[in-house]
Amino acid sequence: MKTTLLFLSVFLSVSLFGQELTYVPDDLFEQHLIGLGLDDVLDDYVLTSNIENITRLDFPYQTIGPFFSDLTGIEDFASLTYLRCGLNQITNLDVSNNGNLDTLICHLNWLTELNLGENNSLKYLDCAYNGLQNINISQLPYLSFLNISFNQITNIDLTQNNLLTEFWCVENQLNSLDASANTELQLLYCQSNNIEYLDLSQNINLDSLYCNNNSLYCLNVANGNNFNLGLNAQNNPNLNCIEVDEVVWAWIQWPDFTDPQVSFSEDCNNDCTSSLTELSTSNNLIKILDMMGRETSFKPNTPLIYVYDDGTTEKVFTIE
């Protein structure tokens, strides 16, 4: 008798009169589906046929609870292309079965696990302000916008995301960042990490870079597009040389966005050991420029740029 009842219970949990059911344990999630006319009774189940053609789920932001904590059931939204579930208390989100998803906004949750699977359609991903320690985006070839800011991520592989145009990774624990494969990248905000080496010479479309508050000792932005590049590299105490397209232009445009010890060069030797604050005696001064880039002669009490024959420069201010 007990065996028969157990069988019937399992049977009914999967099928109701021959109709497939989707398990939705979060009452708030199910209540939202009821409000959309996709369900009619709060019983932890919804007819799969009612949700499999839904393309968009946009949960309203709530500053006062109750909040979603579990999106189990989302896997049966087979046609879903847009999901916004931000500002909730979700700890685990699995969208690996939602192969048509192109936009996922799940920021401001409690996520420690995010399973993206092979979402070949995903183009926009915002999972900022969570508790993520890792994220795998290697199977998202069409991803163009990615925001992982304010997490605890220590490493990220961008080599398969060739269409990425905006990447935000502010306030993580990244020690390194390789964006050499992301030639479409236009905006990179990677401030407040532990990044030591940043070579953006391959990112020819980059027009906005915030890499302040890191541990940089080498920064290469000689990408052929410096005239369009907005840069902030402040608060990198170990950074002495920034490799650029054109030294004089860099001195004119970026002195307020770098630290006092930083100089610009068209060749920092690419080994991160060059320091323009300790110039070799073999360097020969070839010209002196003012801060507008005009050639001038030595003048006391005036900021000047010394240009040497090895391509290095030095900012000089002599008081008399």
Distance in Å from the first CA to the final CA of the chain: 103
pLDDT for the residue 316: 65
pLDDT at 281 (0 to 100):
37
The pLDDT, as a whole number, for residue 191 is 98
CA distances to 12, 19, 23, 180 from 8, in Å: 6, 15, 17, 57
- pLDDT for residue 143: 98
Task: Return the number of other C-beta atoms located less than 10 Å from residue 140's C-beta.
Answer: 22
Predicted pLDDT at 272: 43
- Position of tokens 């409000």? 35
Domain boundaries in the chain? Answer: 20-278
Amino acid 278: pLDDT: 36
Q: Do 74 and 101 form a contact (C-beta atoms < 8 A)?
A: no
Check residue 317 and give its pLDDT: 52
Instruction: Give the three-state DSSP class for 226.
Output: helix
In this prediction, residue 315 carries a pLDDT of 65
Q: Considering the domain 20-278, what is its CATH architecture?
A: Alpha-Beta Horseshoe (3.80)
Q: Tell me, what's the pLDDT at 60?
A: 82
Instruction: Specify the pLDDT at position 224.
Output: 96
- Which amino acid belongs to residue 78? A
pTM over 0.85: no
**Residue with tokens 């507008």, as numbered in its chain:** 292
Asked whether the beta carbons of 225 and 248 are under 8 A apart, the reply is no
pLDDT in tens, the chain (320 residues): 444 434 434 444 444 456 899 999 999 999 999 999 999 999 999 999 999 999 999 998 877 788 999 999 999 999 999 999 999 999 999 999 999 999 999 999 999 999 999 988 999 999 999 999 999 999 999 999 999 999 999 999 999 999 999 999 999 999 999 999 999 999 999 999 999 999 999 999 999 999 999 999 999 999 999 999 999 999 999 999 999 999 999 999 998 999 999 999 999 875 543 333 333 334 677 777 776 667 777 776 577 777 776 666 666 655 44
Alpha helices in 232-318 (DSSP H): 247-253
Helices (H), the chain: 2-14, 27-35, 48-51, 247-253
Instruction: Write phi, then psi, for 83 (nearest 5 degrees).
Output: -135, 120
- Specify the pLDDT at position 106: 98
